[in-house]
Structure 1
Amino acid sequence: MTELNHCPAPAKLNLFLHVNGRRADGYHLLQTVFQLIDHGDTLHFTLRDDTVLRRVTDMPGVPEQSDLMIRAATLLQAEVLRRTGVLPRGVDIAIDKVLPMGGGVGGGSSDAATTLMALNKLWNAGLSKQELMDLGLPLGADIPFFIFGETAFAEGVGEALQPVQAPDCWYVVIEPGVMVPTAAIFGSEQLTRDTPVVNIADFSSHSRIAGFGKNDLQQVATKLFPPVAEAVEWLGAYGDARMTGSGACVFSAVASEDDADAVLEKVPAKWKAWKAKALQQHPIIAKL
């Protein structure tokens, strides 16, 4: 096999996101539920005759060597060399980019996770799911979740994952048109860092389609970025609206695709908005 094309890198939503504390190293202790949705980027991998790793799609504002896809591929290539003594062939990576940067939907992390899973297959590297998760964690706290590949209750810095059932529903997502830097949100003095710990049963016993807990980062992001506050307020007229991750995207759960379409028809033209269905499993699993 020299190519692996049309590899999905789906978005995620944080159905809630609580900040429970802060470690001595500055990392925040979190609790969240990660939900995969059927909207995302698509990656294409072609092996080269040398050992060079290249991104062949131009992405303004993202230098190739700082791109999480290239950094993930570099880590895996080095790991294969360490294990086998042989440096794997290089790869050209093309991407159909759909997910916004700084949107809180995990776009870069999902791309990196898909890269690790796809190249593990292309290179016959043989790393386990857990080994890939461990390899990806230093690049981003969300990457292990995408490799985990199913709806997850997450703790720690986001790497301690347990499978959990979440509503099988549709979501309306609004991109407010701003890019929210994660560091600015987590670094704010206004951030609540002492939300009481919940357990997985608390979430599982919550019967409504949405609305468990809150997103502790939302209060900071809405003050710093008024378009996020405006999107939360507007979408809140149609259900429980909240921000995902550190922003900027805002979402609300709805019962059906028809309900999602009805909301989308009313979204102001100044915003990009889309619908997506909850996924129970990462779509790349069937492909690999």
Structure 2
Amino acid sequence: MTWTVKLPGGAALPMIGFGTWQLQRNAAYESVRAALEAGYRHVDTATLYQNESEVGRAVKDSGVDREQVFVTTKLRPQDARRARRTLESSLRQLDTDYVDLWLIHWPTGRDELVSTWQELLSAKDAGLAREVGVSNYSPAQIDLLTEATGRQPAVNQIPWSPGQHDPALLDEHRRRGMVVEGYSGLKNTDLRHPVLTEIAERHAVTPAQVVLRWHLEHDIVILPRSSRRERIAANLDLEDLSLTAEEVTAIDALTRTR
């Protein structure tokens, strides 16, 4: 799978990433190993997930060159006042000198919005993170950071699914040249919905694959998560699935029929 999106600093972000939320201990290690063996080259973790050491060990043990794996982790807002120390701890657990992307997991209080963003920019300038961004931020909060520092987040990671499809919000990010990463796309979707099952049957794929391919049709980075090896592989196997414009429109419309 070669789908990537270029970030402002030049890094190529694979559009299919492997999410690790709620994967703990050996399950986290084995799932990331399985994902890398299947061909994933983008792994998403966070301080909150408490699995950075397992993720790092899986990347190292996979035999895939570190430069070939795009690793994301996230800063909890409650760690904002010790952001650099938190990142350094993440790097130790991940057993790497840098992360490819460091995000603020969700907005801090208004008084700390800019200062926390400045800490991320400082880490980027120091080479500890190749790119920095945010998660769960509104366009107004993103603009506040950009106006205060002159530097815009590269990515906003937000919940996205057919039922949450918001073309206006997507357009707000596009106008700013920002990449949208969608999370919980499968968790927040009724995979038994007739629109999805009929499209899946037509293409001889699963409804989950239809939903994931729909995200890619909208240039939204996806982060599917599973601990089952066959599902991990299926979630990556989207290259031969092509949705028609009518099918994409039908899935878009699910946001109005929930």
Higher radius of gyration, 1 or 2: 1
Q: TM-score range by the shorter chain?
A: under 0.3
Task: Compare the two structures and name the one with the higher helix fraction.
Answer: 2
* Bigger proportion of residues as strand: 1
Higher relative contact order (CA 8 A, sep 6+): 1
